[in-house]
Structure 1
Amino acid sequence: MLWIPIDRTLDIPLKRQVYEYIRKLILNGELKAGEKLPATRECASQLGISRNVVIEAFEQLLAEGYIVGQQGSGTFVAEGAFLEQMQDERTTTLEISEECIQEKGVIDFRSGLPALDIFPRKDWGRLAKDVCLEAPDYAFGYDHPEGRLELRKILSQYLRRTRGVNCHADQIVITSGATQAFSLITKLLLSQGDKVIIEDPITNEIQTIFTSTGATLIPIPVDEQGMRTDLLSDGEKPKFIFVTPSHQFPLGSILPIQRRIQLIQYARVNECYIVEDDYDSEFRYDGEPISSLQGLDSERVIYVGTFSKNLSPALRMGYLVLPQALIERCRSLKWFHDLHTPSLNQMLLARFIEEGLLERHIRKMRKVYMKRREVLREALIREFGHSGEISGDSTGLHLIAEFKGIEFTEDLIERLYQNHVKVYPVEHHTIHKGRHVNKVILGYGNLREQEIEEGIRNLRKVLGN
């Protein structure tokens, strides 16, 4: 008997579901070479589907060489169709898929997600229609790898005005999100055995991107004022230093001017670059947004920004502001990556910024997030009192909650999940383990106020037992 899970609620045709499932069983070795498959009639009867569906799936598998038919004997798994690493790949894919699915009834304190329900759809839709109708014919063709000039010009003005970034349009490369920006940096600067000085803790994804080249990470601890620049060693000779100076991720500290100057002086002496990730600093609640590090030395700092936090991750739009020496090489690498970021989206974003809609949206969302932050703070104080401590909440879409006597193990995280609340341990983002076991990241950007309160009540039910 060959049991295949059939889901009629999916948009995937039934024959494709049958084909995909048998294909995976063959590739990962669960169906072995020479093993006989059930007859199409028997298989259709067991699954409660049409025999023609099974026949079409088998025909596709036959055409691609996964199975062979023997006259009068039946259908068998072909030789040489087992791919050993598929088991690990399949597990990873399933884990990623589960991470991205929002479970119904689970209150997810995931950080970095803006309020998806307050995306400015009306303005965006109006401009999308205008751009599509008004765009010249050549805009529908291939474009320059560095991005549309009108967007780069408007973006350079916006960054100078709002973030103190010292740049002109030619220094900007538009990317398909910040992830591609970091990938381009690794290809620009890193080779096997190179060193990168990096904050500890820092987002796991960044660590993975940088080490994918074979580079070695040199972790520098973070305190309430950001990276401990007094611990930088002249003997390391790194290719670059990675920092989140305006809102350290995940701990939320802000790098003061004294440490910024130390960092730049270190980079100058060691002839390396500084990579500044400015991912959510527009949303500062205790004063004006912190000025960029790049504004202190535009030839030593590579500035990375994104529209995933202030607008939507679905846009897949980010950018690099580069020192002069790296511009041409980065443009070439961008061309090899994906030719260029979608032109119509760039034209639309340029109009959105030019008409003042981005800054208007940020002002609106700052008020929304400030209220959600206060609801979260009040809920934590109400439920945990002095046993909980809050930090890193002056900027951005998350804060850090620290609980005395609690260690957020995998078992505890699972128990919380079973009680309909999902939180994210700081320890998952550390390089040196054991320093932040009692801290969790609580993102509030994409949670309504009642969800925040319910989530903290659920957290208290589990941690209080």
Structure 2
Amino acid sequence: MGHFEQRPRGTGVTRRIYLSLREQIESGIYKAGAKLPSSRSLAEELGVSRTTVTAAFDQLISEGYIQVRQGSKATVASTGGPSRVSRPQLEPKAIPKLSDYARRVMALPSHTSAGLAPLKHDFRYGDIASADFPKLLWRRALNAAFLTYRERLAYEHPAGNPRLRQALEGYLWRARGIRCEAVRIIIVSGSQQALDLCARVLVNPGDSVVVENPCYAMARNVMLAIGAKPVELACDNDGMDTTRLPDPARIALAYVTPSHQFPLGGVLSVGRRQTLIEWANLGNAYVIEDDYDGEYRYDVSPIPPLYLSGQDKVVYVGTVSKTLSPTLRLGYMVVPGPLVEPLILCKQIADRHSSGFEQDALATMMETGAYERHVRRMRRRNAERRTAFLTAMREAFGSEIEIVGTSAGLHVVVWFNSLRSDEEELFAEAARKNDVGIYPVSRLFAAKGDPRAGFIFGYASMAVEPINKGVAKLFEVFQSKRFHA
């Protein structure tokens, strides 16, 4: 029995004996039908109590590794447990049989930068400054949610917390001019889930869907994962080119970001809004309006949501990811009446409901006015960051660049006039080596017409000084020209 490592007595001895015996069975040292030492002799050899060894045997018996007959020594079960010896023979058949959905998802580009080493000057869009999160207010609201008396802890309604839905009814009227009943509001785990639920409810594999070009990558991925065929419509300063809309009779839905086109920043013009709604009414298509950063307007008045023009055809999607934090995973939908029940039922299947305590906390902040005060504070701070970024970039690069989408949101797109599109990844890699994160815009195009290199710059995660230093370091990389293809 020299295979056992002698260890001191104490807590965990039973588990060490169990693991050692299991290892010897799985490796084939003890083959099927082989007898194991008696519990008495094994206890004497290891210097432990017989009860300790018996407990290890009992665990092996419960897992099917060994069997014991009255009056006989324990023997290795004929099945041999999950024997490692036999595994190589099974490898050719071990390829998982994946669904079509899983195969489509695995084929999609993720373009994620999550998990990469942190950078000192990271202009990644979607990140929010940690210092901006209202920690004290949120802690108070969350504590109140925890301490609220509940007769029992139970699953909640998949549509969301009634208080939060009621609070959102008032907030959307004040902030975006949307009049809706709370019964049409569904709380989701971020706007990404809203897009996924809409795709599952409205799109079948093989259906065509209209998307913008360029487009929010995760929106396009949702449609591709469901098996849809994207019809990409080019975007300019007036948003999606609705003159190119296809026959609505063969389209399941359209996805747009009309108040601040992602990523170029254009605003869907009044004429194009009217054309889009008329187009949806002619067919049987719904429109998803992703109002992902509608709280942030700087040089222009708030843009009325598309929802106001076609409530029966538009699914309005909002989120707190840009106002509070993307880590909260809280968003909401305002949906046409016929879609309320199917979306709620699909939400229930997806995750039963979004986190109840966080919904309670957000409802408290909205009811007390704390949320809207926080939004106004964030609008001022991000206006300062935006001004600092634009000033630093223009002073450093001058005529070398063109910046678009500056009137709203938390990002801009910067075109580099002297860099080619095929140099985007090289420039981004060179910048990362110098502790600066920039992100190529070509990743968001199905087909890119502009031959220049372009990058999305988010500025909401840094204070003014790091923004200025990051731009200065980027200009040094640009001047070095080491990244040219």
1:349-395 Cα distance to aligned partner (Å, 9 max, x none): 11111111111001111111011111111111111011111110111
Amino acid of the structure 1 residue aligned with 2:268: L
Question: Aligned pair in 2 of structure 1 residues 437, 237: CA closer, same or farther (>3 Å)?
Answer: farther
Partner of 1:415: 430
Answer yes or no: is 1:455 the counterpart of 2:470. Answer: yes
Kept in 2: contact 1:194–1:238 (CA 8 A): yes
The 1:170/1:462 distance shift into structure 2, 3 A limit, reads same
Cα separation, 1, equivalents of 2:299 and 2:21 = 64
Aligned pairs, number: 410
1:252 matched residue in structure 2: 265
Q: Which residue is 2:87 aligned to? A: 78
Residue 162 to residue 456, structure 1, CA distance change in 2 (3 Å): same
Of the three residues 275, 287, 309, the one matched with 1:296 is 309
Partner of 1:29: none
Cα distance in 1 for residues equivalent to 2:475 and 2:21 = 55
Which residue of 106, 128, 131 corresponds with 2:145? 131
Matches of 2:431 and 2:464 in 1, distance apart?
A: 20
1:24 corresponds to: none
What is the RMSD of the two structures over their aligned residues, measured on CA atoms? 3.0
Aligned mates of 2:475, 2:124 — CA distance in 1: 18
Instruction: Indicate the SS of the match to 1:299.
Output: coil
* Change in CA separation of 1:59 and 1:395 when aligned onto 2, cut-off 3 Å: farther
Q: Answer whether contact 2:307 2:314 (CA < 8 A) is retained.
A: yes
1:27-61 deviation line (CA, Å, top 9, x unaligned): xxxxxxxxxxxx998xxxxxxxxxx9999988888
Contact kept, 8 Å, 2:210 with 2:254, in 1: the verdict is yes
Query: Could you say which residue in structure 2 is the equivalent of 1:14?
Result: none
The correspondence of residues 37-76 of structure 1 with structure 2, limited to 5 A, is: 68-71=27-30
Listed one character per residue, the Cα deviations across residues 91-119 of structure 1 (whole Å, up to 9, x for unaligned) are: x8xx9798213634442111122222210
In structure 2, distance between residues paired with 1:129 and 1:363:
24
Q: Tell me the residue number matched to 2:408.
A: 395
Mapped pair 1:113 → 2:127: yes
- The correspondence of residues 364-375 of structure 1 with structure 2, limited to 5 A, is 364-375=377-388
Paired with 1:393 and 1:56, the residues of 2 have a C-alpha distance of 65
d(CA) in 2 for partners of 1:40 and 1:390?
Answer: 69
Matched residue SS, 2:392: helix
* Equivalent in 209, 221, 235 of residue 208 of structure 1: 221
Aligned to 2:254: 241
Indicate which of 283, 286, 292 corresponds to 2:299: 286
Quick one: structure 1 residues 411 and 70, their matched pair in 2 at CA, closer, same or farther if it must change by over 3 Å? farther
TM-score by length of 1: 0.81
Deviations 1:115-142 (A, max 9, x none): 222100111111211222124324x211
1:220-235, aligned counterparts within 5 Å?
A: 220-234=233-247
Contact 1:308 1:317 in 2 (8 A): yes
Match of 1:33 in 2: none
Change in Cα spacing, 1:453 to 1:301, as seen in structure 2 (3 Å) is: same
CA distance in 1, matches of 2:283, 2:147: 52
* Preserved contact between residue 426 and residue 437 of structure 1 (Cα < 8 Å): no
Identical amino acids, percent of aligned pairs = 34
Instruction: Tell me whether 1:328 sits opposite 2:341 in the alignment.
Output: yes
CA contact (8 A) 2:248 2:282 kept: no
Checking the alignment, whether the CA contact within 8 Å between 1:195 and 1:236 is kept in structure 2 is no
Unaligned regions of 5+ residues in structure 2, if any? 6-13, 32-82
Alpha-carbon contact 1:167-1:298 (below 8 Å) kept: no
Quote how far apart the aligned CAs of 1:289 are: 2.2
CA distance in 2, matches of 1:257, 1:328: 31
User: Is 1:177 the equivalent of 2:186?
Assistant: no
Which structure: larger Rg? 2
Moved more, 96-105 or 441-450: 96-105
Q: Which residue of 1 aligns with 2:332?
A: 319
TM-superposed deviation, 1:270: 1.7
How has the CA–CA distance of structure 1 residues 133 and 222 changed in structure 2, closer, same or farther, with 3 Å as cutoff? same
Unaligned residue ranges in structure 1 (runs of 5+)? 1-38, 42-51
- 2:472 and 2:274 map into 1 onto residues whose CA distance is 44
Q: Distance in 2 between matches of 1:368 and 1:387?
A: 28
Distance 1:69 1:362, change over 3 A: same
Amino acid at match of 2:392: A
Q: If the length of structure 2 is used for normalisation, what is the TM-score?
A: 0.78
Tell me, yes or no, if the aligned pair for 1:68 and 1:78 is still in contact at 8 Å. no
Taking a change above 3 Å as real, the CA distance of residues 77 and 227 of structure 1, as seen in their structure-2 partners, is: same
Match of 1:427 in 2: 442
Structure 2: distance between partners of 1:124 and 1:365: 15
Range with bigger deviation, 446-455 or 405-414: 405-414
